[in-house]
Amino acid sequence: MECLPSELRRPVRKGKDKENRMLHDIISLLKSVDLDILPDFVARDLEKLPPFTFDYLDVSKFLKDMAVIQAAIKTL
């Protein structure tokens, strides 16, 4: 199954500055394509993922969301 039409596929890059041009191609593709047509990548074995700890959590965002939820509950 093809995810992208052939005109949107990345061209073959050679020569100097290849990595930068490839990165630019990928970014422009993600900006121009509907993300619903791109495949979703998921982990098959969750035990192989690194552990999720509070170091990875944005606590300020979490506290802000909690305050919004508490305010919504109070208005009910």
CA pair distance 38, 2, nearest whole angstrom: 10
Determine, yes or no, domain membership for 48.
yes
Determine, yes or no, domain membership for 1.
no
pLDDT exceeds cutoff 80 at 10: no
Domain extent for 55:
6-75
pLDDT at 49: 81
pLDDT in tens, 20-70: 888 888 888 788 877 777 777 788 888 888 777 767 777 788 889 999 999
CA pair distance 30, 37, nearest whole angstrom: 11
pLDDT at 3: 64
CA pair distance 21, 68, nearest whole angstrom: 43
Entry pTM: 0.40
3-state DSSP: the chain helix, strand, coil percent, rounded to 5?
A: 60, 0, 40
Determine, yes or no, domain membership for 13.
yes
Q: How many structural domains compose the chain?
A: 1
3 state SS of 38: coil
pLDDT at 25: 83
pLDDT exceeds cutoff 50 at 1: no
Determine, yes or no, domain membership for 20.
yes
